[in-house]
Structure 1
Amino acid sequence: MASSNFSPAAPQVFNGEGYHIWVVKMKTYLQAFDLWEVVNSDVEPEPLRTNPTVAQIRQHADERTKRHKAMSCIQNSVPDVIFIGIMACESPKQAWDKLKEEFQGTERTRKQQLLNFRREFENLKMKEEETVKQYSDRIMAVVNSIRLLGEQFNEARVVEKVISTLPERYEEKISSLEDSRDLTSIPLTELINALYAQEQRRASRLEEHQEGAFQAKTNTAYKGKKTWKNRPKPDAARSNDQPCRHCKRPGHPKEKCWFNPDAVCQHCKKKGHVERVCKSKAKSR
């Protein structure tokens, strides 16, 4: 009997999609309340014997009540649009089978679905851009669909599929695992984690290599290249930075200064400037 202290959450309402998942959840829910046998066997409680005891009367009442409880669970787990289809069913077994017939289909349909999923499983291969975890998730999605249709699918077969369809870059890791483990009995989770760890190490090394290559390229590009601030200036530029000895202003050498108190102009014969900047010469032109 189910524990009186245990009250599992009711399964989600079945809206017509994901029937196989709903069936698993609903079956577990009914088992938790000791109601699954009522649905599965659909056996009417035996009639009471003559002069039954109080205990027998209570047990008989409990058995009859179980049928109503199971029917209530099924009816309340579907919306009204689906409930209409099972409304006329007189037992939980009839309601259960009615839903199965409508949403799972016939046995022929189930077998065709299984065939399609098996074919999909056999054709699965890992893509170059996929991680091993993404690939294993794709495989398990197909495997779980097969299992939901009632077919046994052991983990060893999944492990074999993963190993046989991995790209060449995983061969070294697979060989290493073969040396230390029996791959026919290795858990799928352990295999995926080992391969994922290799992926992480490879990605880390690739990132470091790319960063090193970029830094080397950057250093090569700037090697020997001096900034404008540190670039040596030509002699003329360095002399222009110094203030002129005559006018005390920078920007020109003393030989080209318009003011020179020691110079004598060859044109006007006056002191203080050279002929090149003589104003009298400019006016006479």
Structure 2
Amino acid sequence: MRMYIKSIKEIAWQRVLDGRSPPRIVDADGDSCRVKPESAWSNNEVQTSNFNSKALNAIFTSVDVNMFSLIKNCTSAKEAWEIIQKHCEGSESVRRTKLRMLTSKFESLRMEDNETIIEYDRGL
């Protein structure tokens, strides 16, 4: 998926990593006060937002129907990507538990004295 989105353009993948924040209007003090209306966006702001749309479209078209139902309301590629990651990989604690289970299974992996290599291989 990463390479597919990067093939669109590198900045599309950056939108997945960084997220999309709409341009804001800056007041006289230099503070951003509210979201800028789309009709007032500069060409650069439109392009940046467009890369978020392209990355989000790439994600939408690459997932199955079940996964799409989880992300269909996302407006940023980052948000969709995080939902997919959490769904596929689980939370940090789930990943740690999976790793511990795999480590334990690997450590207990032994070939019996009466097994041939072929029998052992089939049992994996």
5+ long unaligned stretches in structure 1: 1-25, 50-56, 139-285
110, 117, 122: which one aligns with 1:130: 117
Does residue 59 of structure 2 align to residue 74 of structure 1?
A: yes
Paired residues for 1:1-285 under 5 Å:
26-33=1-8, 34=10, 35-44=12-21, 46=23, 57-126=42-111, 128-130=115-117
2: distance between equivalents of 1:95 and 1:113? 23
Could you tell me whether the CA contact under 8 Å between 2:19 and 2:77 is conserved in 1?
A: yes
5+ long unaligned stretches in structure 2: 27-41
User: Under a length normalisation based on structure 2, what TM-score does the superposition of the two structures give?
Assistant: 0.66
Shift in Å, 1:123: 2.2
From the CA coordinates, give the structure whose radius of gyration is larger: 1
1:234-270 CA-to-partner distances (Å, cap 9, x unmatched) read xxxxxxxxxxxxxxxxxxxxxxxxxxxxxxxxxxxxx
1: distance between equivalents of 2:7 and 2:81? 17
Q: Once the two structures are aligned, what percentage of the paired residues are identical?
A: 25
Shift in Å, 1:46: 4.5
User: Under a length normalisation based on structure 1, what TM-score does the superposition of the two structures give?
Assistant: 0.31
Residues 112 and 45 of structure 1, relative CA distance in 2, 3 Å threshold:
same
Could you tell me whether the CA contact under 8 Å between 1:48 and 1:60 is conserved in 2?
A: no
2: distance between equivalents of 1:106 and 1:75? 22
1:135-167 CA-to-partner distances (Å, cap 9, x unmatched) read 9xx6xxxxxxxxxxxxxxxxxxxxxxxxxxxxx
1: distance between equivalents of 2:5 and 2:100? 30
Shift in Å, 1:45: 5.8
Shift in Å, 1:109: 1.1
Look up the equivalent residue of 1:96 and give its one-letter code: W
1: distance between equivalents of 2:48 and 2:80? 18
Quote the RMSD (CA, aligned, Å). Answer: 2.8
2: distance between equivalents of 1:37 and 1:76? 19
Residues 126 and 37 of structure 1, relative CA distance in 2, 3 Å threshold:
farther
Higher-helix-fraction structure: 2
1: distance between equivalents of 2:54 and 2:89? 24
Residues 59 and 104 of structure 1, relative CA distance in 2, 3 Å threshold:
same
Structure ranking higher on relative contact order (CA contacts 8 Å, 6+ apart): 2
Could you tell me whether the CA contact under 8 Å between 2:20 and 2:52 is conserved in 1?
A: no
1:233 match: none
2: distance between equivalents of 1:72 and 1:81? 16
2:35 match: none
1:155-197 CA-to-partner distances (Å, cap 9, x unmatched) read xxxxxxxxxxxxxxxxxxxxxxxxxxxxxxxxxxxxxxxxxxx
Shift in Å, 1:47: 5.4
